[in-house]
Amino acid sequence: MPHTVDRQMVRSWTEELEALGTRLSPRFARSEVRERARDYLRGLLSTAERKNSWRLAEVAGNATPYGLQHLLGRANWDADLVRDDLRGYVTEHLGGEEDAVLVVDETGFLKKGNKSVGVKRQYTGTAGKTENCQVGVFLAYASRRGQAFIDRELYLPEEWAQDQHRRERAGVPERVRMRTKPLLAREMLGRALDGGVRAAWVVADSVYGDTRRLGMFLEEREQPYVLGVSGKAYAWAGFRQHRVGTVLQSLRQGELPSEERAEESWSRLSAGDGSKGPRLYDWLRLPLNPPLQEGFERWLMVRRSIENPEDLSAYTVFSPEGTPLEKLAKVAGSRWRVEIGFEEAKGEVGLAHYEVRSWHGWYRHVTLSLFGHAFLAAMRAFGQDIEASPSQKGAPKPDGGEDSLLAFKRKRGLSWR
């Protein structure tokens, strides 16, 4: 059954998009660049199947894509300042919840050739295998009102960082050196916390949790976290380190490390609601050495599959004293929110549809795309239902004279009255 949208709702969409354009105007000193940025955002919100410069130029009614290509290339504006505006926009529209989380994760952008900045054969969860791709590390903000991204960094492999010719050809700034993914995560989290973002928890998988420095950084800020760790990681309990993989093997055998006692037995708890109801697992936590920060405690938390008891996942936890296991299980399960965000951003606003090869081009497209996604998240938070469908066959195609935002809503099966 199609959704019904009244005239007031349509006005709220167009007014909010105009307000967003006004908000970003100071970042674009020249009027023509300012208009191209608005055209680019509207194009990202259009029904164009591929959000490349040619299709976005069609949506804007331009005969060629050169103006939009100039926006991503040589135009004078700072994508990092727009990123700061993005962070404020997201927290303004989605913030205010006590259970908000910051989620760090990465995604791959499959590419051909070797000229796109940062491209190489590397593993990406996007394909589930090693592919020729770029990898971006992202920071998402999620609350009960929705999820959206507030920061992004392109991972620059060491061979790129050391190759001066490739750096110059792709426009990599001289100040940029090879930074690991956990270091990129720490930089983004530092910007968010310094920028006034308040979240109850930080969540990430073992790519980031295996690096103890990230946990130490968050503990210094008294920022609670639930970070996944692999079996290769170590955790301090008593007077020695315990290899996480060894602890998990003991649990598979129905034992606990000899020096430790479980705070409680396995508990069947929900990690949050999924498409088929509560996502139930068995959970257990073991105490780790207490942190220096008063009022906090550390845990090694383990999740066990109900269907396959051999399937165990581990997390290190820094939490306020007295936080129940049930709460920690839900926090760990909240990491899936970033996967929803990637699906929405890639399917709805062309996050992966760019054709730029340069450093600045990547950051400019990705930042504007994330702003388009944040706009949709804000509309959902206002109670306007938008289905997250990457594509719909048979949907009306935009033309240069049609309002791309209205076409976007029509694509999603909304009726008008």
CA–CA distance, 294 with 34 (Å, rounded to integer): 49
Burial class (CB in 10 A: 0-12, 13-18, 19+), 254: exposed
Residue 287, phi then psi, degrees to nearest 5: -70, 140
Q: What is the pLDDT of residue 270?
A: 94
Candidate from 23-37, 50-64, 293-307 with smallest mean pLDDT: 50-64
What confidence score (pLDDT) does residue 261 get?
Answer: 54
> Cα separation of 132 and 412, whole Å?
33
pLDDT mean across residues, the chain: 87
> What is the H or E stretch that residue 300 is in?
strand 296-304
Specify the pLDDT at position 384. 55
What confidence category does residue 30 fall into, taking pLDDT thresholds of 50, 70 and 90?
Answer: very high
The Cα 348–Cα 211 span in angstroms is 33
Residue 122 to residue 375: CA distance in whole angstroms: 32
| Across 32-53, average pLDDT | 92
Helix 359-381 to helix 336-348 angle, to the nearest 10 degrees?
A: 110
Residue boundaries of the structural domains of the chain: 3-77+364-416, 211-334
Q: How far apart are CA 358 and CA 71, in angstroms?
A: 13
With pLDDT > 70 as the criterion, what percentage of the chain qualifies?
Answer: 87
- 392 pLDDT higher than 60: no
Looking at 20-173, which runs of residues are DSSP E strands?
101-110, 120-124, 129-143, 146-154
Residue 7 has pLDDT above 60, yes or no: no
Express each pLDDT in 324-341 by its tens digit.
999 999 999 999 999 999
* Per-residue pLDDT at 11: 54
What mean pLDDT do residues 86-113 have?
Answer: 93
Which residues are registered as beta bridge partners of 270?
A: 280
Is residue 286 within 8 A of residue 260, CB to CB? The reply is yes
DSSP string, 154-165: E---HHHHT-HH
The pLDDT of residue 387 is above 70 = no
User: Which has the minimum average pLDDT: 4-18, 140-154, 238-252?
Assistant: 4-18
State the pLDDT at residue 417.
Answer: 21
Residue 8 clears pLDDT 60, i.e. is over it = no
Report the Cα 412 to chain-centroid distance in Å.
24
Q: So what's the pLDDT on residue 96?
A: 74
Read off the pLDDT of residues 105-159 as tens digits, 9 standing for 90 and up.
999 999 999 999 999 999 998 888 999 999 999 999 999 999 999 999 999 999 9
Q: Which residues pair with 229 in a beta bridge?
A: 314
pLDDT of residue 49: 86
Tokens of 234: 């170590």
* Residue 254: predicted pLDDT: 83
